A = this chain, B = another copy of it.
Amino acid sequence: MKLEDAKLKYIHTWGSLATNWGINKTMAQVHALLLVSTKPLSADDIMETLKISRGNVNMNVRALIDWGIVNKEFVVGERKEFFVAGKDIWELFKQVTKERKKREIEPVLKVLEDLKNDVEDNSEEAEDFKKMMGDLSSVTTTVNGILDKAIKADEHWLLSNFTKMIKK
């Protein structure tokens, strides 16, 4: 396969995979495009390659910037804005994990904590419910903690420590 075809295939495959896990197709494609691009791209470049509207490009690029995985970049002699995606995949993983933690895990913990505290009742059934909320909280907290370590870790550090750990 020719390089350009492989790049396009990657971009489109990434987009359809993304929809399987609740991520907007276009957003995934824009990121994939920037990831395999050798130079910063303008909104026009993205519009043309992905055949999408200016508004759509703008929205999704801003969302990616908001996730901290795409940056604006100035190009000498050009007035318009250009965009780049960081090429370090471990950094990308850490950034996405950090955001998902903030957006998806932490709100869950808050809700569970509140629910546990709000039940006045002291029946056995109420105690069971509180235990259930507590268990959900506790597993979520454990996962959250693990992800925290991963975010702070260096790829090799994490890998080698894991290897050590699992051999015990």
Contacts and interface: CB of A to CB of B under 8 A. Distances in A.
Interface of A: 1-3, 6-7, 9-10, 13, 17, 20-23, 35-36, 38, 87, 89-90, 92-93, 103-104, 107-108, 111, 115, 118-121, 123, 125-126, 128-129, 132-133, 135-136, 138-139, 142-143, 145-146, 149-150, 155, 158-159, 161-162, 164-166, 168
B111 A17 contact: yes
Contact of A132 (B35, B104, B118, B139): B35
A60 B120 CA distance: 32
Contacts of A123: 3
A165 B146 CA distance: 11
Nearest to A116: B6
A146 to B, nearest CB: 6
Nearest to A133: B10
Given A2-B121, A21-B104, A89-B136, 8 more contacts: A3-B123, A6-B115, A6-B119, A10-B133, A38-B128, A93-B143, A139-B155, A164-B165
Contacts of A158: 142
Contacts of A121: 2-3
Copies of chain A in the complex = 2
A103 B87 CA distance: 26
Contacts of A2: 119-121
Main secondary structure of the interface of A (DSSP, over half): helix
A55 B161 CA distance: 49
A65 to B, nearest CB: 20
A142 B128 CA distance: 37
